[in-house]
Structure 1
Amino acid sequence: MKRILAALAAVVVLASVGTGVLIWRLSDAESPKYPEISAYSHGQTVRVGPYRYCEVLNPTKCAVFEHQGELPVTERGAVQLSVPPAIARAPWVLLRQYEDSDVVEEFRPNTRLAVTVPTVDAHRGKLTGLAVLLPTLIRLDGEEVPAPHAEWSVRTVWSQSGDDQATRNESR
């Protein structure tokens, strides 16, 4: 009876170890090499990897992917931008691009994982895109200036909802 219980225990241990290794390998294969940001608006979510990613200590050595997310938006919604802890652990910059001018917000390390961005600004017009930047200091003409070593980009695509179309028809 003891041999049967010992054999059964060995099978359970081997099955547990095998399952753990399988889960570890599958999760490791699916994790992206570079961090991704996500943006949500109007029932749609887009996840995007970096547009450009350079080494911090050698900002001229870069991987350029030219990834740019596209997010449908309307005048009635806002964009919920989320960054992973890998980005939020460092100082990061959010560039909000509107039709008439841009807004730059800087966030200190470990302070923000998400930001709500209005799709329309009364003074700047409609939101045309967002960019998340990781700055690093470089020496330029003897002066230290911040320059992004990594960048993520989301372009907004304006959709006309039924309410927006009805408003346009009434104004004619």
Structure 2
Amino acid sequence: MMMRSRTKKIVAAISVLMVVALVAYVSVLFVIIKNINDDPEKLPVITAYAHGKTIETNPAGFCTIDLSQCAQVGDIYALDVPAGYPLQLSLSTDVSDAQWALLAVYEDADGNQTGEPRVFEPGEALAVTVESSSDPVKQLVGVEIHLAVGEGSEQGLLIWSIKTA
């Protein structure tokens, strides 16, 4: 079956838009990876504290704003958070002065995971405490912090990831 001329033009236009979006995403990703490699101190840092231990974390990933494409650009950090102890997060002002999101991931005794997302408005919090239950039905297994960066078609998410169990 032959496509009509108008249909061909629409398909061609959509294809061009997809290529442009992909090029923009790759460009932003390249700049972020270059910044991480050239000067990781320029990137926002999140400090995590639990049960007497502290770690500083850099972004682990960069994703498109809809999370359809992601690239790992750093490490996923691990910090032991024993059952019943809280995880405390301290954010750099680059994060806390913008809108950002926290996703706490819990696991039940059967291994099923659920996420509890929370969005923070600019200036709302410089530090956050994530509760961990002593009940094995709801164990904290990790957290992710999402921060939108860039503008327009070049917007994406920097993601910090901390495994807690």
TM-score (norm 1): 0.58
1:15-164 matched pairs, under 5 angstroms: 32-53=41-62, 64-99=72-107, 100-120=113-133, 125-135=138-148, 148-157=156-165
- 2:81 partner letter: V
Q: Which consecutive residues of structure 1, in runs of 5 or more, have no partner in the other structure? A: 1-29, 140-146, 158-172
Change (3 A) 1:42 1:90: same
Change (3 A) 1:52 1:31: closer
> Aligned equivalents of 1:129 and 1:116: distance in 2?
13
How many angstroms does 1:53 deviate by?
4.0
More strand by share: 1
Alignment identity in percent? 31
Change (3 A) 1:48 1:111: same
> Aligned equivalents of 1:90 and 1:38: distance in 2?
17
Matched residue count: 120
**3-state SS of the aligned residue for 1:72?**
coil
Please give the per-residue CA displacement for 1:2-41, whole angstroms capped at 9, x wherever unaligned.
xxxxxxxxxxxxxxxxxxxxxxxxxxxx970211111111
Contact 2:105 2:140 in 1 (8 A): yes
How many angstroms does 1:155 deviate by?
0.3
Q: How big is the alpha-carbon RMSD for the aligned residues of Structure 1 and Structure 2?
A: 3.4
Please give the per-residue CA displacement for 1:67-105, whole angstroms capped at 9, x wherever unaligned.
111101111310111111011111000000111311000
Change (3 A) 1:97 1:121: farther
**3-state SS of the aligned residue for 2:41?**
coil
> Aligned equivalents of 2:42 and 2:64: distance in 1?
14
**3-state SS of the aligned residue for 2:94?**
helix
Contact 1:98 1:127 in 2 (8 A): yes
- 1:81 partner letter: L
Change (3 A) 1:36 1:92: same
TM-score (norm 2): 0.61
